[in-house]
Structure 1
Amino acid sequence: METFNNTLETTIDMQFNRKNYSDEVLISLYQNMVRPRMIEEKMLILLRQGRVGKWFSGIGQEAISVGSAMAMNADEYILPMHRNLGVFTSRNIPLTRLIAQFQGKLSGFTKGRDRSFHFGTQEYKIVGMISHLGPQMALADGIALADLLEQKNKATLVFTGDGATSEGDFHEALNVASVWNLPVIFIIENNGYGLSTPVSEQYRCKDLVDRAIGYGMEGRKIDGNNILEVYDTINSLANDIRQNPRPVLVECLTFRMRGHEEASGVKYVPQELFEEWGKKDPLENFEKYLIEQGIINQEFIDSLRSRIKTDIESAIDIAFAEPDIIPNTEEELADMYAPYDEVAIEPSSDSKSEKRYLDAISDAMRQAMQRRNNLVIMGQDVAEYGGAFKITQGFVEEFGIGRVRNTPLCESAIVGAAFGLSINGYKGIMEMQFADFVTCGFNQIVNNLAKSHYRWGQKADVVVRMPTGAGTGAGPFHSQSNEAWFTKTPGLKVVYPAFPTDAKGLLAAAIEDPNPVIYFEHKYLYRGISEEIADDYYTTPIGKAKLVKEGDQLSIITYGLGVHWALDYLTQHPEISADVLDLRTLLPWDKDAVEATVKKNGKVLILHEDTLTSGLGGEIAAYIAEHLFGYLDGPVMRCASLDTAIPMSKALEDNFLAKSRLDEVIQKLLRF
């Protein structure tokens, strides 16, 4: 059997070509490589002393970080990874604050909530990684898209590693960038190993840069240990794509001289690779070149290192002396969300029209687009086709293809791009063609959108529209009620309107809110329900339930299609008197409204279309049992759909849905 050998090449000669760069530029490149090298060497000492807990070393890879960062303008975003200390130091982030971040101190960038380089900072235009690696590439797409829409001549730079090129997020981000001609430089740091997995087990192509042609983009392979080659390549590309927007893939060949992180060691790496790559040390070779060229001398080197050593020791003393964080529960809870004082927007006139649920959603988006030039709608088929359900029909003619964007089939990349838009001053509404498809973008929602403000104070100003629910015989992959996946995720807000009035008002409120909002809209209601609603723009407050029917025998707490099931049932059974409380918002849900109806009637039924096990009803029932037990005249009962996938046939679907058991559960509750 033929074996495929793609061992990372090391035969490139270290040839420095200064071109027309001044001595000052070369000295600056050198100084900026020395600084992260010396910081790392100190961190490794502290690690051995047990004074720091973990470290991901970038020793031997400084030329990529420093050369790339210095080639970018200070107001352009860079999205680094965990071996790119040189990016942070080249952007002149105060060393005291960096070390405080490493140590989990309050003065760090994440208030002790995240580790090492898992943070961003708008002040220095850096957006840090999450541990899933690949998702940050789509954020770069969104950042670049905002620049493109603003007609700013800017580039965005994003890093990834050879291992992360195996992730779907890599493919999605590059494909979107290429289709949309986004000015993004994608840098692959090919350092030979993804933890212990060598490149020969990561990919079959000879070079990772060969993948560029598959996306219709330019690709460059360079010596990642040659600071002048890195700087010149990125500088030239950035200058070019600022004027002629397009993405470029750059593969930087280098080597990881230490373990994935220090605890993992390097026993799995052949010793001869260390010997060969040790000869290509980027700092030693460039230093030798500068000495030979008469640009620096030993006195300069000694003086520089002395100053940096003093800076490092001072920063360590200050950061380590900072007291440990004293937890503040109230602050922890509050920081999950970007601050927002919601002020209701009332219609500016009394004008009203009969609108379907679908039309109400369309109204809210159209009027929001008219009010906000920085609002972008993205999704599959949302432009000329008008969306799968025609909700955005006519939008592209009114707002243009720049702001109403058809997307490739890549939910993760588009959610990530929406987040990138938010980082760069825009707002995205992303339509999941069906709520079921959110699984393909799940990580971006629950790990990126939901946690960003808590982690580093960055709002995720994104709305994800979720056409949801059963009743149309669409089967297991187009009918799920999956809201419970998100109602347990702090940092998100989840809304679910049951009527056209709320469909418009809650979507408008979601757009006004700077936090990530998951907006569920029931497909069965699109054309099945109409209501007279205000023609003008208005908002319905998020987090407030609505009592849609009053009675005194029991309380039905529900949302979405369940509201209509409850109302229809009570119409058919006029002998039963019940409150029907429409939650409208599922995260945060309205505890005050729930408490009021429970205290009033004492018998409670929680109804929802979602499956019984782990549905939101279980959480509400537990809250009532814990806090309102003394007001109950019977057990809190739940009526939900079967714990199965959703079948296609009408008979099976009807049997699946909670509606088929509603009478049985109500009658049982009334007997108590």
Structure 2
Amino acid sequence: MNFDRKNLTNEQLLDLYKKLIKPRLIEEKMLILIRQGKVSKWFSGIGQEAISVGITSVLDKDEYILPMHRNLGVFTTRDIPLHRLFSQWQGKRNGFTKGRDRSFHFGTQEYKIIGMISHLGPQLGIADGIALANKLKQNGKVTAVFTGEGATSEGDFHEALNIASVWDLPVLFVIENNGYGLSTPTNEQYRCENLADKGVGYGMESHVVDGNNILEVVNLISELKASMIDNPRPVLLEFKTFRMRGHEEASGTKYVPQELMDMWAIKDPVENYRNYLKATAVLSDEQDEAFRAEIKKEIDTDWAKVQEEPEIVADLHEELNDVYRPWEYEEFNPSDEKENIRVIDAISNGLRQSMERHENLVIMGQDIAEYGGAFKITDGFVAQFGKERVRNTPICESAVVSAANGLSINGHKAVVEMQFADFVSTGFNPIVNLLAKQHYRWQENADVVVRMPCGGGTQAGPFHSQTNEAWFTKTPGLKVVYPAFPYDAKGLLNTAINDPNPVMFFEHKQLYRSVYQDVPKDYYTIPLGKAALLREGNDVTIISFGAGVHWALETLGKNPEIKADLIDLRSLQPLDWEAIYASVKKTNKVIILQEDTLFGGVASDISAMIMENCFEHLDAPVKRVGSLESAIPFMKSLEDQYLPKQRFEKELLELLAY
């Protein structure tokens, strides 16, 4: 192994050595503790330390790094106190996740480290968002994100590289190619000679690096960092290295040929660097022993400190209140000046006024820039706000949602438009596993709104007509909003953008241009979780949202003798249980109308909660009305049969006659 010190001083070389042996010595301690049953699980990075330590040593303390399981050197090189790391691994309160997540599945703004989730790929998109925020701030900062050779087969890897390349984002994409994805060797994972070759397809600079040579890592990263300040761009780096332990300790390494283990043992990054320092008289035996003794003492002292920490005690109030970022709603009241506009105009106005109010707000989506979006909601936005803040995206919903999360982490707000709500399925993972869980896991908000043009009635068929709110109302950590009128659409969108929590904002396409209302011209907000009582009566409670509200109004118009409380939920998560229960207790009969199919839908949970909390007030079974249990069809006659509009009147009359 050839080491080139370039202009590094002896002090810098020794500092690198201390940083390199620290994670190794910690790991050796952990392996002993595992055998003693004092540590439950461990993902070893022995043999790969030079990559983590080298990259982190070069980057500034305020530059974000997104590591993985085997990157202990990132955390130690950022000087996180060991007792806090040990507390995290042991599930103690002094860790970073209050015992809610394990090992390296955490982030910390204090040390500018964003931990992974087990789905691996989405963190690459987060790095895009963080880098985009840096680029918008023009602060010259670089972001480094780690992945393994196994995760390069995931779609998120390709999506993130493509976005970074198209947007010239200053990201170091770090592939630690250690030969195996758990037990699957590289020849069963990809066919190109080097994973760095994939950069060619994205017009991206790439390098193959000896990941076991600490000086080669440091020298290259130093050069790249300096050049990326003047020439912001992504760089793909493939570090050739090897994992000397199992995927995790329980896995073992029986699947690895012994000759391969022997070959890589000779390339050990710690031993080779130590031998180099001693051969060049930079490091003496006495210094080496002193460094190791000092680190071992720190390890033992901090481990003992963690053993004195009490175990986590479950606190129900804290657990439930950490699901969402606490936020105090600020009410903005409109003036009396109004205009008669459509739902689509109200959404556009709200979005425009929010862009004016929040200079750190970025909107992203397919065709939303000069074209104005599929429904022309952002028409004219580029002229007013510029392409930096109104960004066309490639067709890659997963990485775009992840990038929105990265923007939030780095101090921005983001609105993502799904061209159609149906397409959210390809961005489902980062929504339910990143955005939704982030505050609960490590107390970081996800300031992201995902706009969801949805719904049937336009003969658009199975892939452009779903109303899929139930996919998200089930997921703690997400808020779900579903307005039916222009006034609500504008006010609720403004609130959703103000809210630091992730919000799924559903917009019914059939209502876009068919429903008019007098709407204030200036900025205003409406609180989430407050239903609207549109009609009052004692005969029955009708609960609905979205297009269903208009179907209910039409039915009541045809049957003026029915005196009903008509509740427009407006917000599905949180739900206005107080309004629902008060009405049911007054009318004693309730029917719930939704456009989605019935099984597993919002109506089912509302029905169950009414049965549990208002049973003694009911004079009839709770009635639910929804679409047929099939995909939504294309032809009008089939779609009319599918949707519940025509069945609602019959079900309502039967309930009243019960």
TM-score (norm 1): 0.98
**Structure 1: gaps (5+ residues):** 1-13
Counterpart AA for 2:621: P
What is aligned with 1:320?
Answer: 307
Shift of residue 577, structure 1, vs aligned partner: 1.1
Match of 1:72 among 46, 53, 59: 59
CA distance in 2, matches of 1:567, 1:352: 24
What's the counterpart of residue 234 of structure 2? 247
Q: Deviations over 1:316-374 (max 9, x none)?
A: 11112211111011110110111101121112x22111111000000001001111110
Q: Are residues 1:220 and 2:207 paired?
A: yes
> Secondary structure of the residue that 2:209 maps to in structure 1?
strand
1:212, distance to aligned residue in structure 2 (A):
0.4
RMSD, aligned CA: 0.6
- One-letter identity of the residue aligned with 1:32: K
SS in 2 for 1:216: coil
- Give the 5 Å matches for 1:144-543: 144-347=131-334, 349-543=335-529
Partner of 1:647 in structure 2?
A: 633
Question: Distance between the aligned counterparts of 1:437 and 1:25, measured in 2?
Answer: 51
Q: Judge which range, 319-328 or 461-470, deviates more.
A: 319-328
Q: Partners of 1:513 and 1:58 in 2: how far apart?
A: 39
The answer to whether structure 1 residue 44 and structure 2 residue 37 are counterparts is no
State the Cα distance separating 1:663 from its structure 2 match. 1.4
The letter of the residue matching 2:337 is: S
1:140-177 Cα distance to aligned partner (Å, 9 max, x none): 00000001111111110000000000000000000000
Structure 2 residue identity aligned to 1:192: G
| Aligned counterparts of 1:392 and 1:25: Cα–Cα separation in 2 | 52
Partner of 1:613: 599
Post-superposition shift, 1:249?
Answer: 0.1
For structure 2, the 5+ residue unaligned runs are none
Alignment partner of 1:110 out of 67, 85, 97:
97
Distance 1:562 1:24 in 2: 71
C-alpha displacement at 1:551, in angstroms? 1.3
Question: Partners of 1:447 and 1:273 in 2: how far apart?
Answer: 37
Q: Report the Cα distance in structure 2 between the residues aligned to 1:222 and 1:205, rounded to whole angstroms.
A: 16
Aligned AA for 1:206? E
Q: For 1:189 and 1:606, locate their aligned partners in 2 and report how far apart those are by CA, in whole Å.
A: 53
Distance in 2 between the 1:346 and 1:223 partners?
61
Q: What is the match of residue 119 of structure 1?
A: 106
Deviation by residue 1:519-548 (Cα, 9 ceiling, x = unmatched): 000000000011001011011100111101
- Do 1:103 and 1:320's aligned partners in 2 also have CA atoms closer than 8 Å? no
In structure 2, the residue matched to 1:602 is 588
For residue 570 of structure 1, the aligned residue among 520, 534, 556 is 556
Superimposed CA distance per residue, residues 272-320 of structure 1 (whole angstroms, 9 cap, x where no aligned partner): 1110000000000000000111111110011111111111011111112
CA–CA distance in structure 2, aligned partners of residues 655 and 300 of structure 1 = 82
* 3-state SS of 1:354 partner: strand
Q: Secondary structure at the match of 1:628?
A: helix
Structure 1 residue matching 2:594: 3-state secondary structure: strand
Tell me the amino acid that sits aligned with residue 82 of structure 2. L
- Structure-2 separation of matches of 1:36 and 1:156: 22
Deviation at 1:32, TM superposition (A): 0.4
Q: Any idea what SS the aligned residue of 2:376 has? A: coil
Q: Secondary structure at the match of 2:108?
A: coil
The residue type paired with residue 239 of structure 1 is: A
1:634-670 CA-to-partner distances (Å, cap 9, x unmatched) read 0000000011000000000000001121012111111
Residues paired across the two proteins, number: 658
- Equivalents in 2 of 1:242, 1:414: separation in Å? 24
Amino acid at match of 1:287: R
For 1:237 and 1:345, the matched residues in 2 are separated by: 48
| 2:237 alignment partner, SS class | strand
Q: CA–CA distance in 2 between the matches of 1:525 and 1:352?
A: 20
Q: Is the 8 A contact 1:434 1:468 kept in 2?
A: yes
* Structure-2 separation of matches of 1:636 and 1:318: 57
Query: Under a length normalisation based on structure 2, what TM-score does the superposition of the two structures give?
Result: 1.00
CA distance in 1, matches of 2:305, 2:613: 47
Q: Name the counterpart of 1:660.
A: 646
Aligned-partner Cα distance in 1 for 2:568–2:280: 76
Displacement of 1:21 after TM fit? Answer: 1.1
- Greater shift in the superposed pair: 31-40 or 235-244: 235-244
For 1:303 and 1:152, the matched residues in 2 are separated by 40
Provide runs of 4+ in structure 1 moved above 2 Å. none
Question: Would the aligned equivalents of 1:79 and 1:136 in 2 still touch at CA under 8 Å?
Answer: yes
Distance in 2, matches of 1:315 and 1:202, equals 40
CA deviations on 1:21-46 (whole Å, 9 max, x unpaired) are 11121111110011000000000100
Q: Secondary structure at the residue paired with 2:110?
A: coil
Q: Distance in 2 between matches of 1:646 and 1:241?
A: 49
Separation in 2, partners of 1:342, 1:426: 19
Q: Give the SS at the match of 1:316.
A: helix
Distance in 1, matches of 2:516 and 2:226, equals 54
Displacement of 1:607: 0.5
State the match for 2:16 in structure 1.
Answer: 29
2:577 corresponds to which letter in structure 1?
K
CA–CA distance in structure 2, aligned partners of residues 345 and 449 of structure 1: 27
